[in-house]
Amino acid sequence: MKLLENKTTLVTGATRGIGRGIALTFAKQGSNVAFTYSSSVEAANELEKELMDLGVKAKGYQSNAANYEAAQQLAADVLKEFGTIDVLINNAGITKDNLLMRISEEDFDTVIEVNLKSVFNLTKAVIRPMMKQRAGSIINMSSVVGLKGNAGQANYAASKAGILGFTKSVALELGSRNIRCNTIAPGFIETEMTEKLNEDVVKGWREAIPLKRGGTAEDVANACVFLASDMSSYITGQTLSVDGGMLT
């Protein structure tokens, strides 16, 4: 029995890293997958094919989650194509790291817009159809940095901490309509982005984690499957840390 049979999931920012892992894991669990990407058309086409090879319906949409109108249009297009949106995973995010003294106003605004405002945009776009079907699961991707802060990432930390408050508020507002909203806070996840880091730095991070390893995109995806499926039907407004015990 697949946990997400016949559900349709919309994942933002899915052509690499955690987003890609989520899309593939969800397809393996029987979910149809609509996903967004910003510029990598080739990677999107490749992912679309991989997902369809797993026997589900899949389609990639070039869309900017940080743009309010684009998010509304996206939800309308996905509904037209798939019929329902049962699960929304707000995963799109960027970093523009710098010490506070050096962060430009533009770099602060851009990170807030892409990481936090996009969550508002898309959540707002899917709640009407979810309310109509009286069911839905919204999963927002925060970060261990949103829970504890990090030097050189004031903009990123603010955006990811904002997601926590937003999630709790949405959970309170929509619980009576059987729509659940939860947050995942990944720790050190090894993806294409971390491959560029110095091996000694990565080794140091692994050593500091109780489970002595970095996480995988699949580790995060499996937590998302749980929160998307009926197994978590009595869980809302929560933050699930997938961090190997980093914040314990």
Read off the pLDDT of residues 163-176 as tens digits, 9 standing for 90 and up.
999 999 999 999 99
pLDDT for 225: 98
C-alpha distance from residue 148 to each of 141, 154, 168, 239 (Å)? 15, 11, 18, 13
pLDDT digits (tens, 9 = 90+) for 40-70: 999 999 999 999 999 999 999 999 999 999 9
d(CA 189, CA 195): 11
Active site residues: 156
pLDDT for 194: 78
The C-alpha angle 165, 38, 18, rounded to 5 degrees, equals: 55
Low-confidence ranges of the chain (pLDDT < 70): none
Q: Where are the beta strands (DSSP E) in the chain?
A: 8-11, 32-37, 58-62, 87-90, 136-141, 179-186, 239-242
Question: Which among 160, 184, 31, 156 has a CA at the least distance from the CA of 98?
Answer: 156
* Structural domains of the chain ordered from first start: 8-190+217-240 (3.40.50.720)
Are 8 and 32 contacting, i.e. CB atoms less than 8 angstroms apart?
A: yes
Q: Which amino acid is at 198?
A: N
pLDDT for 195: 79
Are 17 and 43 contacting, i.e. CB atoms less than 8 angstroms apart?
A: no
d(CA 9, CA 12): 10
The first and second tokens of residue 204, run together, are: 């140091």
pLDDT for 193: 73
d(CA 221, CA 18): 7
pLDDT for 188: 94
d(CA 226, CA 213): 22
pLDDT for 153: 96
pLDDT for 167: 98
d(CA 236, CA 199): 38
Which residues have C-beta within 8 Å of that of residue 85, sequence separation ≥ 6?
A: 8, 9, 10, 34, 75, 78, 79, 126, 129, 130, 136
